[in-house]
Amino acid sequence: MLQHAGATSAWRDWYRASHGERFAQTQGTAFEAYVTSALSVAHGEGFVNPAPKGQLGDGGCDGITGIGDIAYACFGYLPHRNVESKLAEKLADDFARAEEKWPSFVKWRFVSNLSCGPLAAGEIVRINQEHSAGSERPLTASYFTTDNFWNELLLPLTTADLDKLFPGVPHASNISLADLFPLLDRLSQTTLGEHEDVPAGEVSAKKMDYNSLSPRVRLEFQDARIHMPAINEWFAGHSDPTLRDSQGNKFREIYINAAKASTTSNEIVERLYVSLGGEDFRYDEGRANAVYAVTTFFFDECDIFKLPPPGWDGYK
């Protein structure tokens, strides 16, 4: 990602899109793992996720702050279930167990990637009515969707903390792209100024629409445009004048194979990223931005993705 003192608004949107994908697309225990890892970053080292112990289980708690004032329960979508009734039952049961086992919390948050239907909403209302001000144990219960989770917990985080959850890339895994490694190294070491927020040029919105690129990938592609002059200069100065076209052809072959094995544009783009940067490419910020930039270059300049047919005017 861009090496600025703080996160640019564009990259804040990228983090938001990454969170939205992770929140929406995980199920069951994988959803719980994502939520609790995010909570541990948001609340800091005092946050505890109690491990289930025998008959005690986890006490209806998937996480509690260090001073015990906020407790969490989470429930990720599980297919082939009576979703609404199961959700309401899970919510009520988790609160009852947490209320009994954790007497200190004053805020209880139920985190789910399922929409809050009338049964679940009724349980939240019931809990808040029973524990309103003046009751024996006043507290508030709330239902956290992806937006609540982002706005309340992740949006205030620093870029360094967000990088722990969504690391931005090293080792190329496709040897046919080895000639591009020096270009990646050069781009990875580039220090960008603090006023270079706006990418140079624009990736074709029509082409991105036609290939159904997600908001996250669009941000990666658009922001990576800042490296385009350096990429063009590198190819122009290379001793092999055919390198640009030959590497474009290899990228196209990788794209064709990825399109056969993948069902979504996100999967295809990810396979291209990994072919260039390796599976761990996002763990190095500069390398990640270099991979985004080179992939964007071939997407935009060498037509490795599908081109809209003549006269195509976008989705109606």
Residues 259 and 132 in one domain: no
Q: Single out the residue in 159, 189, 224 at which a domain terminates.
A: 159
User: Which residues constitute the domain of residue 198?
Assistant: 169-301
Each residue of 159-169: pLDDT tens digit? 778 888 887 53
**Is the separation of the CB atoms in 312 and 206 below 8 Å?**
yes
Of 283, 224, 288, 290, the residue nearest 10 (C-alpha): 224
Q: Single out the residue in 159, 194, 222 at which a domain terminates.
A: 159
Residues 147 and 262 in one domain: no
Of 34, 89, 82, the residue nearest 62 (C-alpha): 34
- The whole-number average pLDDT for the span 228-236 is 88
Residues 221 and 276 in one domain: yes
* Tokens linked to 250: 């290899």
Residues 27 and 87 in one domain: yes
> How far apart, in Å, are the Cα atoms of 158 and each of 62, 193, 207?
24, 19, 33
Residues 194 and 115 in one domain: no
| pLDDT of 292 strictly over 70 | yes
Q: How far apart are CA 112 and CA 120, in angstroms?
A: 11
Residues 61 and 179 in one domain: no
Q: Report H helices in 74-198.
A: 83-101, 118-130, 146-149, 159-165, 181-188
Q: Could you tell me which residue, 234 or 303, shows the higher pLDDT?
A: 234
Asked if residue 306 is part of any domain, the answer here is no
Q: How far apart are CA 291 and CA 277, in angstroms?
A: 6
2-16 as b/e: b if 16+ CB within 10 A: beeeebbebbbbbbb
Give 221's contacts (C-beta < 8 A, 6+ positions apart).
203, 208, 213, 292, 295, 296, 299, 300
Residues 102 and 222 in one domain: no
Length of the chain: 316
Asked if residue 243 is part of any domain, the answer here is yes
Q: Single out the residue in 135, 159, 183 at which a domain terminates.
A: 159
Residues 254 and 295 in one domain: yes
- The whole-number average pLDDT for the span 120-135 is 96
Residues 127 and 193 in one domain: no
Asked if residue 15 is part of any domain, the answer here is no
Asked if residue 314 is part of any domain, the answer here is no
How far apart, in Å, do the first and last CA atoms of the chain sit? Answer: 34
Asked if residue 7 is part of any domain, the answer here is no
Q: Could you tell me which residue, 8 or 310, shows the higher pLDDT?
A: 310
Q: What is the pLDDT of residue 42?
A: 95
Q: Could you tell me which residue, 27 or 146, shows the higher pLDDT?
A: 146
Number of structural domains the chain divides into? 2
Q: Could you tell me which residue, 199 or 69, shows the higher pLDDT?
A: 69
Q: What is the pLDDT of residue 81?
A: 64
Asked if residue 42 is part of any domain, the answer here is yes
Q: What is the CA radius of gyration of the chain?
A: 24
Average of per-residue pLDDT values in the chain: 81
Task: Specify the range with the lowest mean pLDDT, choosing from 111-115, 139-143, 172-176.
Answer: 172-176
Is this model's pTM higher than 0.75 or not? no
**Is the separation of the CB atoms in 243 and 265 below 8 Å?**
no
Residues 205 and 250 in one domain: yes
Give 72's contacts (C-beta < 8 A, 6+ positions apart).
35, 36, 39, 61, 62, 63, 64, 108, 109, 110, 111
* Tokens linked to 51: 């491990």
Residues 297 and 186 in one domain: yes
Asked if residue 93 is part of any domain, the answer here is yes
Query: Can you state the percent helix, strand and coil of the chain, rounding each to 5?
Result: 55, 5, 35
Q: What is the pLDDT of residue 278?
A: 80
Residues 186 and 248 in one domain: yes
Each residue of 249-279: pLDDT tens digit? 888 888 888 888 777 888 888 888 888 888 7
Asked if residue 2 is part of any domain, the answer here is no
